[in-house]
Structure 1
Amino acid sequence: MDLTVTTLEGKDAGKVSLSDAIFGLEPREDIIARVIRWQLAKKQQGTHKTLTRGEVSRTGAKMYKQKGTGRARHHSARAPQFRGGGKAHGPVVRSHEHDLPKKVRALGLRHALSAKAKAAELIVVDDLVAAEAKTKLLTGHFATLGLTNALIIGGAELDNNFALAAKNIPNVDVLPVQGINVYDILRRGKLVLSKAAIEALEERFK
């Protein structure tokens, strides 16, 4: 698959050949969904907690005598059926992480990249370098490229001026190639890859 390479200024910078094994697959929603579910479960804090009857601050004395009242036999007011009592089977602090095989994760990333390529939402830029850390200048370049909602992936090292200039632009995320992931690819409209990022991805999936 051949794709036109552009500069940040919107000028033609030749063509690049993309690997069909990475960018030419028929996207499978089930694999992508599994990877996103795994990512979001990993991010979830899991700090939700309610007090059980053993933790609630309330008297432990018997409410009333066992026999002779004609009422049900109760002991502690901390029991879940009483107002102010503990919660039965409530949430506890826990990790929501679950396992997902490395091969499935890698396959999910390839399918996400292929989905962007198939939808014509993939842009290849020759180099992500800014002469100075000016957000206004970079916003003008993005307007030329038609980028209003995008994930931008650079090489192993991001240009400091470019990263600083892009930091305050809404709906634009900038990541080094090591940080590329399925969730961020799909939550943004366009995917912008530098030539260095493509080389790194092809080396990774070789």
Structure 2
Amino acid sequence: MKVQVLKLDGTAAGDLELSDDVFGIAPRSDILHRVVTWQLENRRGIARKARERSEVSRTGKKFGRQKGGGTARHGDRSAPIFIGGGKAHGPRLREFDVSLNKKIRALGLKMALSSKTDGNLVIVDNLELTDAKTKVLVGILAGAGFGKKVLVVDGEAVNEGFARAAGNIIGINVMPAIGANVYDILKHDTLVLTRSAVEKLEARFNG
């Protein structure tokens, strides 16, 4: 699949041949759903477990008379109403470590990349900015017409000047190629890849 390579200002910078094994796979909603669910489940934090009545180490001796004391008829001190007692219906320890086959995860990423080739994928030569300022980058992106929610993926590391300039722009997220994932790709309207990002992604699957 041959696509046009652009500069950040929208001018042409040549052509690039994309691998059909990575960018030419028909997306399947069931595969994408499984991968996104796996990602989000593994992002969930684990709640700290609270000790309940049976787990609190306190005396079990009845500390008052059953009748005649002028107070309620209490048993041991581990009851939830006392300071130091067990928590009633407290948070339980829950594990969210969901497993997913590596082949399915790789296939899901290929499908997410392929889903953007219908007009929502932009290949740029590089992310070099002559003036790495937010105001300048806002004007460049507005002129290029990338849209409101844009994911920019660079090669080994994101260009420092571009990352600094894009840091305060709402809707623009940047990451290196190693961080490309299904959830973030699908969440954004436009996917912008540099030449080096394409090389890294194709080498990731072919290697």
Q: Identify the residue that residue 70 of structure 1 maps to in structure 2.
A: none
* C-alpha distance 38-61 of structure 1, shift in aligned 2 (>3 A): same
- What is the rounded CA distance, in whole Å, between the counterparts of 1:6 and 1:201 in structure 2? 19
Alignment of 1:87 onto 2:116: no
User: Structure 1, residues 55-109: CA drift from partner, whole Å, max 9, x if none?
Assistant: 579985559999xxxxxxx9668668x9x97435x53234311211211111110
- What is the rounded CA distance, in whole Å, between the counterparts of 1:43 and 1:18 in structure 2? 31
Alignment check: 8 A CA contact 2:54 2:86 kept = no
The number of residue pairs the alignment matches comes to: 196
Post-superposition offset of 1:27: 0.3
Alignment check: 8 A CA contact 2:149 2:190 kept = yes
Alignment of 1:96 onto 2:96: yes
Alignment of 1:2 onto 2:13: no
Alignment check: 8 A CA contact 1:130 1:159 kept = no
- Structure 1 residue runs of 5 or longer lacking an equivalent are 67-73
Q: Identify the residue that residue 122 of structure 2 maps to in structure 1.
A: 123
Q: Identify the residue that residue 37 of structure 2 maps to in structure 1.
A: 37
Q: Identify the residue that residue 105 of structure 2 maps to in structure 1.
A: 105
- Structure 2 residue runs of 5 or longer lacking an equivalent are 67-73
TM-score by length of 2: 0.82
Q: Which amino acid aligns with 1:130?
A: L
SS of residue matched to 1:4: strand
Q: Which amino acid aligns with 2:132?
A: A
Post-superposition offset of 1:157: 2.3
Alignment check: 8 A CA contact 1:152 1:173 kept = yes
TM-score by length of 1: 0.82
Q: Identify the residue that residue 70 of structure 2 maps to in structure 1.
A: none
Q: Give the alignment's Cα RMSD to 1 decimal.
A: 2.7
Q: Identify the residue that residue 13 of structure 2 maps to in structure 1.
A: 13
User: Structure 1, residues 146-171: CA drift from partner, whole Å, max 9, x if none?
Assistant: 23211000111222111111111111
Q: Identify the residue that residue 151 of structure 1 maps to in structure 2.
A: 151
Alignment check: 8 A CA contact 2:55 2:86 kept = no
